[in-house]
Each structure stands twice: as structure tokens, then as C-alpha cells.
Amino acid sequence: MNSIISFVNFVRGNMSKSYSTPILILAIFFISIYQSSSYADNNIPLSLSDPIIKSASELDYPPFALVLDNGSADGFSVDLLKAVVTTMGRKINFKVGPWHKIKQQLIDGELDVLPLVAYSEERNKLLDFTAPFMRLHGTVFVRKGDNSIFRVSDLKGKEVLVMQGDNAHEYAVQNQLTDKLILTDNYEQAMQLLSSGKHDAVLMLQLVGFQLLNKLKITNVVSIHSHQETNIRPGSRPLSGYEQKFCFAVHEGDKELLSLLNEGLAIVIANGSYNELYDKWFGPILPQPRVSWKQILKYLFFILVPLLFLAAAMGIWYLRREVASKTNYLQEEIRERKQTEKTLHDSENKFRTLFDVAAIPLCYVNNKGVILDFNLKFTEVFGYTKSDVPTLEEWWVLAYPDPKYRKWVIKTWETAVEKAQKENTDIQSVEYRVTCKNGDLRDIIISGSTFQEYFLATFIDLTELKQAEERFEKFFTLISDLFCIADINGYFRLINPAAEQILGYTQEELLQRPYMNFVHPDDREKTEKVIHEQLQQGKKVINFSNRYVCKDGSVKWLEWTFHPMPNQGVTYAVGRDCTQRRDMEASLKASELWMRSIYNALEEAVLVVSPQRELISVNKATKKIFGYTEKEIHDQSTSILHVDQDHFVEFGKKIEDAFGQGKSAEFEFRAKRKNGEIFQSEHTVSMLKDEAGNPLGIVSVIRDISKRKQAEIILEETLADLEKSNAELEQFAYVASHDLQEPLRAVIGFLQLLQSKYKNQLDEKGRHYIERVVKAGHRMQSLISDLLKVSRVNTLNTSFEPTDLTKVLEEVLEHMQSTITEENGVVTYSRLPTLMVDKSQIQGLFQNLIVNALKYNEALKPTIEIGYEDKGHECRFFVKDNGIGISKEFRDKIFMIFQRLHPRKDYSGSGIGLALCKKIVERHRGNIWVESESGKGSIFYFTLPQGEK
């Protein structure tokens, strides 16, 4: 149905009434069929007893709707609706009223139908429309002679009159024709304003406009479509989108009335009533068609029109198709040509840009040897500008100043160009050494391409590449790390000389065997793992260490960085010999273990204390001494080890003072154990510093000296006791020996009297006994005398004085001169020092030693050497002889009182001499000892302190 209605619309709107009539008859036929089927479908009965249809007409919309003087509705659409309703056997009643009012009444259902409603999508939502019975186009009316408006677009900025709320109004707003819309209540008013010279144009339906002009007898206003033929400027077309389809409209949903009206409309059009009404109302305002045409068409209609129509349609279709195809072809050709031109242009631009910004020097030369162009890179690399080398000749001379070399270059180049031209290939690449403008020499590979009349030379600068190669070569050769490239088959592909130095194999040996052969058997599994799980997955590996067996059988640790290049099927690797570091680490670890075991094995408590005097670490002995475990004491203040807070503070000050003087400190202090017991301790404190000398803390070594202190006290007491007992003993020895001398002298004296007075009365045996008793008495006298000497060493009230020991020795020797001579002895001595000594005792010391040296000597010429060595704080004296010597085991024994090594019959003596010597030396705070071997002479040493010089 819609297509039929559209067809009717087309006819109504685009053809004159004469042409449209036959076509409308055709349309009627289809509409009738549709309507019948529609009734059949909907089964809606028609009845003459139906109530009168209520309608209304607008007040003033000639010739469609107008009001007669008697107030009744009239006009084309009123007449048409009346005809349609009457045809369908129904009655209709018209009211009149303003458009907006009657429209609302229809929407509200107060009216059944309106005779003239312009179709729009919006209205269709509120009302139902019949097939349109007329389609009108909008146009612009202007004043005659106004040449400024020819088309809708000319309305911009113009004052355009429209009726408020009309379609023209909507159209003007929607399309933003102008920003100066002048709104009127009706079009009559608009036309009059325009005609009177006000404003610029009226926008409205053309047909209605003509009607108005006619009615108002306005002659100075025309439609812009009417002066097309007389104007040479491009004509305007009907206003696109501004057209109105006029229909009957019924209350929304009133299908029955709608069907009735559509059917009636079809009949009215078919039976000629429509045409009659059309002529009646539009005839006066439209130009009359020529009679002849009308007549001819009327008679020939059934034969010619369809044919003509068909032929015309076909002709138009064909022509259109041809024109369209030709136009397309031409447009395509133009487009292609433009595209080609653009491509060419782009390509030239691209080439030019490429040439200019190319990363390598390029140069164009024609076949006459003229250098046409070269790029920026050319000047950058060689330094020559275009004026320097206008021709190839200039280039040869400048770039190759050595004539001999130049000759070779020209020959090589020309041969290459000739070959390229002949074989239609590129110019063969050859390396030349080019001299730049600044005199630098550059290694350049020159090649190029020949064209018909010129060639393009390309230059690849190898200088930097060569330098880079050299640098790499040096780096590769000189680096002390092992650098290699290994392939996926498990072989080294490239390996640097450092590998030889590290592993001891030659490069050939390393390249010939799979690298895994060199890996230590114990490390192969983990090496394989890294290869499979990381390198073959393209993952970089750093700090991987494994061992290698060197050619000499030694094992080396290598620390690797692997960089796999999966695309190339190789891995780049750098290995560093970390054997030494590993060994060091191991020994460091061992040393740390060692230190720790010492730390823990120490008897002393060792505390590592922070600068804030908090305990950081303690050894095992701490538990033994203080009773705290490391866990208990960690982070605690060292104050817990002190007797009280004052003690702690005072101790801190002492440490600070000591550290202030830059030394470690030693203190004794009373410490406190966990169980509260106080004990005496000895404390060595040293500062712990980092490499830069910054204090890190304090190390305290604490010894429990409570037992030692006790022992010291006991020792002191014992010594005191001993000294007391010695003194008593000496006193006793002195008293005894002194007091014994007197009775002994009496015994010997009376025995000697007995001997001299009664020797004749005694027999031989008696005389012998008395003789032995006298001898024993003398010996006892000598023993007591010696004992007396020994006991008096410490008790004699002699004083220490600075004494020249040379003098002392010389006095002794002088005193002993006869004995020495008797023994055929020789005594030599060096100069001796002056020391604080008891002179008479030192005399005795020298005398005893010299006597012994002569006595225990079997040499024909007993030789004695006396001297000393300055040992700083003391002097070490020696008395050396060439006597019988002393066995090792007796070296200490001889210094004990009454100890002798020989029977008296062999060597006389009492065994007191050396004991006396020892006592004298010890009284002087020195030592005495002997170095000797049996039969090899003896050296007696004794030391005497230097004292303050």
C-alpha cells in the first residue's frame, strides 16, 4: 500500500493535472484492491445509520481551506473530503477554527477527521493518515528584481518571513537557513510585508504562495523557481526536504474511518471528481495547459502515453546508464592519473629526502663526468662541497693525490662501471683509500648503479668500522677474562687468548673438543641443567660458577655470565677465574670457624659491645663467668655486669679516657654475676673500628681473677713467712757458725797441745787419730767460716755504690797473682762497666769464679777470659775457661750449697763457692748460670742490673 501511495504522491506532486489523471486511475485500481482486502481482513461493516462524521476546517489556507462569509467551511480539501464521504454514503459536518485548536480536537477525539493535514513523522504518532492526495513543494518568494537570492543558501543573513508553527518554520529552523526569521500569524501578512519592501523573502509552499499572490493581486513578488529560465546564474532546485504531503487525518486508531476515507478517495480520484475539484480550485491560480496538447494526449493516451512513457523511461535509463558509465570511466581515469601523478611526486619527494638524509654518502655523475649532485653525508664524510668537486676529474685529483694510486683507482673504477653497463648489474664494490678535504685518509667501499646517462655512486665508510674492529680485537685479545662464543652443538666457536692462559690448553685444543669435556666431572650435571633450563630458553645467566680441569690437571673455578642469542644459535659468555677468590673465601671461612672456636674456647668472657654499651655478642665463657646465656644477655646494657649504676658510669668514663688517648685499657673491677655474686675481674677493653677508622663498638675481654687474687694473697703471706724463716735461719746459721767457732778453736787448740806435749806417750795409732781429729777440726773451721760468709751475704750491712768493676777485677787479680802464676794461668779481660754494687761481694764473686776456673782445669796453660755485654737494662758478664767442663745434668746442681761433683782427693773444696756466688748475684737482682760440656771448658755467666745511669 505504501508503494502505491508513494506513486500517487509522485504523480500529484510532479505532474500537471492533465498528465496525472490516467496514472491516478491506475493507482485507484490498486488502492481499491488494497482497500477491499483491508475490509475483508478487518471485516468492518459499513452502515448508513452511522453517526455524522465530525470535521473542521482551518480559517484561512486558500485554496485548500477558507471560510465563506456565512461562516461555513470551504476550499479544495473541504470539498474533496465532502466528496469522499458522500461517495462512501456517509454524512459529514464541518466546523471552522484555528489550526492549532482543531488539530488538538482531533487528537482528543472531539473531531473524527480533518480535511487537510500535512504529513509528518511526529504527527503520525498522534494521528492516523490516509493516502496523501497532494504533494506540495516549498519555495522562496522574493521581490522581483532582487538578484541576491537564487537558492536557499542565499538566505543566510537575510530576513526571512515564515508563518509561526508552519512546516516552513520548522524547515527553516532545522536547516538553519538564517538567523533572522520573521514570524507571522499567516502567509497573507507575510506576502504583504514582502511586497511592501519589508524583509527579504517568504518561505512557504509554492502553490499556496501563488494562490496568495493571485488573491492579493501582488505582482512584485515571485518564486525563485520562476526566474530560472531568464537568469543565467545556476538555478535553484526545489527545496530539498521541504515538501508537504497533504492527507486526511483521523483520530489515532480509528481504522474504520481511515479505511472508509482511503476507499472513498480512490473512488473520487477514479471517477473524475478529484480532477473537477482540482480544476475548480487550482485552475485560476495555475497557468492553463495548452488545449492542443490536452486534446492530443486525451485521444492518444491509451496508445501513446504508455509507449512514450516507457520509451522515455528506457531512454532516460539508458542514457543515464551510459552517462554514468562514461562519467565513472572518466572519473576513474582522472583519479588514476591523479594517483599516478601523486605517486610520482611522492616517490620523487621520498627519493630526494632519502638521498639527502641517507646515512651513507651518495653521488650522481653523468656520463660526461659532471657531478650532478651529492648528499649531505658526502660533505660530512669527505669535507668536499659541490664547488670543490664539480667534475669527476677534480674528484680523482683531490681524493687520490698520489698519481700512482690515482691511476689504479681510475682504472679499477672505470673497468667496474664498464662491466656494470655491459652486464646490466651494479658497479662492483671495491675498497679505496680516499683523501678527505682535511687530509684525513678514509677506507671507503665504493660501488653504485649505472643508469642510461649517469651513475649513482655509493660510499660505505669503513674507517670507524675498522677502528671498532681493532678495538674489539684488542679488547678480545687483552681482556684477562675468558671470552667465548659457544654454539648449540656444544663447541666453542670463538675463544680469546685469555682462555689459553686460564686453562692451559691452546685455542685449537679448546675449539676441537666439546666444551663440556673441560668442565670438571662433578660440575657437568649442574652445567647441563643451566644450559637446558635457562640458555636454551633464551634466558640470560649471571654469576654461575663451575670448575674446569686445566691441562696441567689443576682445577679452576670460573664465574660466568651467559648471554644466549637464540636467533644466532650461539651463546656469548664471559668467564672470570675466581679460583683465588674461592680459595680465599674458603680459608676465610675456615679462619672464621677457627676464630669462632677460639672465641668460644677462651677461658675469658669476650663481649662485643655497641657504642651505646649494649651487648651485641658474647662467647661461651660468658655463661661460665657471669651465668648469662647469649640469648639472655643480647641487647642488654652492660650495666647488668656492674656492681651498681655508679660503678657502671665510672667505668664508662675510664674507658672514654683511655680511648681518648688512643689506647686500649686494662682495669680490674668488681663484677656481678647473674646470681648476684660479686667477684674480682680483670678487664681489657679495645675499640672496634671499621676500615675507615670509625668506631663500631668495644671488645671487652674479662677474666675472673678472684682465684688468682686469692693465690696472690696466699703467696704474699707465704713469701713473708719464708722471708721471716730465712732471716731466722740466717740468723741461726750466723749465730751457730759464729758461736761454734769458739769451742771448735778450743777443741783444736787442746788437741794440738795434746799432740805436742804427749806425742811420745802415744803410740802411732793414737798420734794418727789425734792428727785426723785436728784436720777434721780445721776442716770444720773452714766450713763454719764459709757458712758464716754465706749467711752474712744478706745480713752484712754493706751499701751499694757506683763501682768501677774493672778496678774490682784488677784488685782481685793482683791479690791472686801468686796463685795464677803457680798454676801457669793466663787471665785476659776487657774493660768492665761501673755499676751500683756491693764492692766486696763482687770481689768475692770474681775471686770464686777465677779460683774454680784455675782449679778445675787440667790444661797446661789454664786460660781465663773475662768480659761483658751491655744488654740495656742489665750487663751480662762471663768468665770463660778451658777447664774440664761440666756435664749438662749438673749445671743446676753445682749452685747448691755443699754440692760438689768430685771427691776431695781429686779437687779440694767445700761446695760452698758457687752457692755463695749465686747468693751474691741474686742479692744484686741478677742471675747466674753456666754453659758447658764435659771436657770442653765452661763459661759462667752472671747478670747485674744497670740501674739508673
Helix H or strand E segment including 445: strand 441-450
How far apart are CB 735 and ligand ADP at their closest, in Å? 24
C-beta closer to ligand ADP: residue 242 or 877: 877
Residue nearest ligand ADP, Cβ-based: 909
C-beta closer to ligand ADP: residue 606 or 912: 912
Contact call for residue 779 and ligand ADP (CB under 6 A): no
Contact call for residue 901 and ligand ADP (CB under 6 A): yes
Contact call for residue 911 and ligand ADP (CB under 6 A): yes
C-beta closer to ligand ADP: residue 450 or 932: 932
How far apart are CB 901 and ligand ADP at their closest, in Å? 3
Q: What does the DSSP 8-state code read for residue 397?
A: H
How far apart are CB 898 and ligand ADP at their closest, in Å? 8
C-beta closer to ligand ADP: residue 83 or 930: 930
Q: Report 610-649 residues binding ligand ADP (CB under 6 A).
A: none
Contact call for residue 881 and ligand ADP (CB under 6 A): yes
Neighbour-count burial of 921, counting CB atoms closer than 10 A to its CB (0-12 exposed, 13-18 middle, 19+ buried): buried
C-beta closer to ligand ADP: residue 309 or 907: 907
The only residue of 793, 884, 920, 944 in contact with ligand ADP, by rule CB under 6 A:
884
The three three-digit cell numbers of residue 173, written as one number: 529552523
Give the residue from 435, 393, 426 showing the smallest Cα distance to 410: 393
Contact call for residue 877 and ligand ADP (CB under 6 A): no
How far apart are CB 918 and ligand ADP at their closest, in Å? 9
- Angle at 102 (CA atoms; ends 97, 103), nearest 5 degrees: 145
Contact call for residue 914 and ligand ADP (CB under 6 A): yes
The only residue of 103, 683, 900, 924 in contact with ligand ADP, by rule CB under 6 A:
900
- Residues 765/812, Cβ–Cβ less than 8 Å: no
CA dist., res. 515 & res. 517, Å (int): 5
Give the binding-site size for ligand ADP (rule: CB under 6 A): 20
Question: Which among 51-59, 81-89, 601-609, 911-919 is the span making contact with ligand ADP, rule CB under 6 A?
Answer: 911-919
C-beta closer to ligand ADP: residue 218 or 894: 894
Give the residue from 810, 861, 808 showing the smallest Cα distance to 837: 808
- Residues 869/840, Cβ–Cβ less than 8 Å: no
Q: Report 271-310 residues binding ligand ADP (CB under 6 A).
A: none
How far apart are CB 781 and ligand ADP at their closest, in Å? 15
C-beta closer to ligand ADP: residue 672 or 918: 918
CA dist., res. 825 & res. 610, Å (int): 73
Contact call for residue 250 and ligand ADP (CB under 6 A): no
Give the residue from 317, 166, 157 showing the smallest Cα distance to 242: 166
C-beta closer to ligand ADP: residue 25 or 897: 897
C-beta closer to ligand ADP: residue 117 or 912: 912
C-beta closer to ligand ADP: residue 448 or 883: 883
How far apart are CB 584 and ligand ADP at their closest, in Å? 59
Give the residue from 131, 48, 44 showing the smallest Cα distance to 91: 48
C-beta closer to ligand ADP: residue 75 or 825: 825
Contacts of 496 (CB under 8 A, 6+ apart): 476, 477, 479, 482, 483, 484
How far apart are CB 853 and ligand ADP at their closest, in Å? 5
What length does the chain have?
949
The only residue of 206, 938, 942, 943 in contact with ligand ADP, by rule CB under 6 A:
938
Binding mask 404-423 for ligand ADP (x = CB under 6 A): --------------------
The only residue of 913, 921, 942, 943 in contact with ligand ADP, by rule CB under 6 A:
913
Strand-pairing partners, residue 823, are none
Contact call for residue 882 and ligand ADP (CB under 6 A): no
CA dist., res. 47 & res. 702, Å (int): 133
Q: Report 440-479 residues binding ligand ADP (CB under 6 A).
A: none
Give the residue from 202, 164, 160, 162 showing the smallest Cα distance to 180: 160
CA dist., res. 91 & res. 85, Å (int): 6
The per-residue b/e assignment along 36-47, b for 16 or more CB within 10 angstroms, e otherwise, is eebbeeeeeeee
The per-residue b/e assignment along 514-532, b for 16 or more CB within 10 angstroms, e otherwise, is ebeebbeeebeeebeebbe
C-beta closer to ligand ADP: residue 803 or 882: 882
Residue bearing cell 675481654 = 701
The per-residue b/e assignment along 257-296, b for 16 or more CB within 10 angstroms, e otherwise, is bbbbbbbbbbbbbbeebbbebbeebbeebbeeeeeeeeee
- Residues 934/884, Cβ–Cβ less than 8 Å: yes
Contact call for residue 909 and ligand ADP (CB under 6 A): yes
The only residue of 233, 775, 902, 925 in contact with ligand ADP, by rule CB under 6 A:
902
How far apart are CB 841 and ligand ADP at their closest, in Å? 16
C-beta closer to ligand ADP: residue 88 or 920: 920
Contact call for residue 652 and ligand ADP (CB under 6 A): no
How far apart are CB 604 and ligand ADP at their closest, in Å? 46
Phi and psi at 688, nearest 5°, equal -100, 125
Question: Which among 123-131, 397-405, 832-840, 904-912 is the span making contact with ligand ADP, rule CB under 6 A?
Answer: 904-912
The only residue of 28, 239, 886, 921 in contact with ligand ADP, by rule CB under 6 A:
886
Amino acid at 765: K
CA dist., res. 66 & res. 60, Å (int): 5
Torsion-angle region of 801 (φ positive above 0: left; ψ -120 to 50: alpha; else: beta): beta
* CA 121 and chain centroid, separation: 66
How far apart are CB 748 and ligand ADP at their closest, in Å? 21
How far apart are CB 881 and ligand ADP at their closest, in Å? 5
Give the residue from 27, 29, 31, 25 showing the smallest Cα distance to 1: 31
The only residue of 883, 921, 928, 941 in contact with ligand ADP, by rule CB under 6 A:
883
Q: Report 843-872 residues binding ligand ADP (CB under 6 A).
A: 852-853, 856
**DSSP structure string for 202-221:** EEEEHHHHHHHHHHHT--SE
C-beta closer to ligand ADP: residue 83 or 879: 879
CA dist., res. 903 & res. 443, Å (int): 110
Contacts of 460 (CB under 8 A, 6+ apart): 360, 429, 444, 445, 446, 447
Phi and psi at 165, nearest 5°, equal 85, -10
Contact call for residue 910 and ligand ADP (CB under 6 A): yes
C-beta closer to ligand ADP: residue 409 or 914: 914
Binding mask 74-93 for ligand ADP (x = CB under 6 A): --------------------
C-beta closer to ligand ADP: residue 139 or 938: 938
CA dist., res. 691 & res. 684, Å (int): 22
How far apart are CB 618 and ligand ADP at their closest, in Å? 57
CA dist., res. 608 & res. 610, Å (int): 7
The three three-digit cell numbers of residue 162, written as one number: 515564515
C-beta closer to ligand ADP: residue 622 or 938: 938
How far apart are CB 819 and ligand ADP at their closest, in Å? 14
CA dist., res. 255 & res. 717, Å (int): 145
C-beta closer to ligand ADP: residue 27 or 886: 886
The only residue of 606, 894, 920, 921 in contact with ligand ADP, by rule CB under 6 A:
894
For binding to ligand ADP (CB under 6 A), which residues are involved?
Answer: 852-853, 856, 881, 883-884, 886, 894, 900-902, 907, 909-915, 938
